[in-house]
Chains A and B, each alone.
Chain A
Amino acid sequence: MKAVAGWIAGFCSILAFVGAANGRDIPKPPEYGKVIIGNFSNRAGLAAVRFDHWLHRAFYTCRLCHVDIGFAMEANATKIDAETNIKGFYCGSCHNGIRVQGDRKIFASCSLSRTKEEDTRCSRCHSVGKNVRKEYNYTSFTEKLPKENLGNLIDWQEAESRELIRPVDFLPGISIARLPLDVQKDFRIKSKGWMPNVTFSHKEHALWNGCELCHPDIFASVKKGTVKYSMFQISGGQYCGLCHDRVAFPLYECQKCHTNPMSR
């Protein structure tokens, strides 16, 4: 059993190196999950925004931002502008100079005036191509978090279960009060060929994502077993690949999903 797991891990590492050798970009840990947002920045005379998932996901659940606040799952699809933020939507839902994260007041999004003080504040997010000193540094921020092999090098689930991070799932004035999620049981997805089956944990996914983030946009309603999810589709950004390989742990960590070599 251990030998099989080791062999799979080895194979996946080779895949990672092959990917790199083929020119597939494997980002550095602080860059993993980075999104460049720049629909209107140039027009406003600002640099594009660099959004770091590693920082925000430590504080907030995926569901809070992508369901309650309404950020699209695709870069630049939301079309955020300063006026929208000022009115308290999108980034402005939290970045309003009033809301607090831990013991820190969250700085306000850009205003429409352009004083020097404003420019300094704008640059905290509008930082692409600039040498901006960030309030949170990746190395020091992640120093005490449990590690894994790829992506951000952080085991986020373990970090949460050890209460090293406590992602907030409710934003007063924006989120809707809901009953706690009654999580469905895990299920097994049969793999083709020699790979172990996938054990899909509804609990691990639904607590951070809710239901509507995945259904039906990513996983449409189908009769069980009628749709085959291929790794080609997944590595092309469909199904699991919409999050894994972009923000959640990368596909090269095969053994994290293909965990069930038991009865086929």
Chain B
Amino acid sequence: MKMFAMIVAIMFSSGTLFTGMPIAQIESFGAKVAQEDWKREFDNICSKTQDAMEFSAGELRNLIARCDALKPRIERLDEPQRKVTLKRLQMCRDLYVYLLEAKENQ
């Protein structure tokens, strides 16, 4: 038991607890995963602009809600990624709103 506690203490003090990776690396890995996460969601939302005119009102509302949910995460990015991606996201959102309004105007 004492031995185990000692090993944990050594790993903790050397910053390699549990994973064998330094804690700084774990943090940067986490940041990378978070980065890829917003990118994946952004790509997924905005990849549908070409065929969105076939979507139902419900599907368009869902896409608009996903744009709104993603926006605060994009706002936390560093410049110029933030500025460029926000504009692109806004263009996708605006198109979905446009198509929704067009459906309602029909």
A residues bordering B, Cβ < 8 Å? Answer: 67-70, 83-84, 87, 89-90, 176-182, 184, 210-212, 215-217, 220-224
Contact = CB atoms under 8 A, between A and B. Distances in A.
A221 B105 contact: yes
B53 to A, nearest CB: 7
Nearest to B42: A176
Given A87-B80, A211-B95, A177 B50 contact: no
Nearest to B105: A223
Contacts of A178: 47-50
A224 B88 CA distance: 27
B47 A84 contact: no
B34 interface: no
B57 interface: no
A212 B92 contact: yes
B88 A70 contact: yes
Given A70-B88, A221-B101, A222-B105, A212 B51 contact: no
A62 to B, nearest CB: 13
A211 B105 contact: no
A192 B81 CA distance: 46
B53 A211 contact: yes
Contacts of B91: 67, 212
B52 A67 contact: no
Contacts of A180: 50
Q: Place the interface of chain B in its size category.
A: 20 to 34
Interface of B: 42-43, 46-54, 80-81, 84, 87-88, 91-92, 94-95, 97-99, 101-102, 105
The 3 closest A-B pairs by CB, nearest first: A221-B101, A216-B98, A212-B95
State the majority secondary structure of interface residues on A. Answer: loop
B38 to A, nearest CB: 13
B50 A181 contact: yes
A179 B50 contact: yes
A181 B48 CA distance: 10
Given A90-B80, A182-B54, A221-B98, 18 more contacts: A67-B88, A68-B88, A69-B84, A84-B80, A87-B80, A89-B80, A90-B84, A177-B43, A178-B50, A179-B47, A210-B49, A211-B50, A212-B91, A212-B92, A215-B95, A216-B101, A221-B105, A222-B105
A211 B94 contact: no
Nearest to B46: A176
Contacts of B95: 211-212, 215-216
B28 to A, nearest CB: 19
A69 B88 CA distance: 8
A84 B47 CA distance: 25
A216 B51 CA distance: 16
Contacts of A87: 80
Nearest to A180: B50
Contacts of A211: 49-50, 52-53, 95
Contacts of A67: 88, 91
Contacts of B97: 216, 221
A177 B47 contact: yes
B105 to A, nearest CB: 5
10 contacts: A87-B80, A90-B80, A179-B50, A180-B50, A182-B51, A212-B91, A212-B94, A212-B95, A216-B98, A222-B105
B98 A220 contact: yes
Given A212-B91, A215-B95, A216-B95, A176 B102 contact: no
Nearest to A217: B94
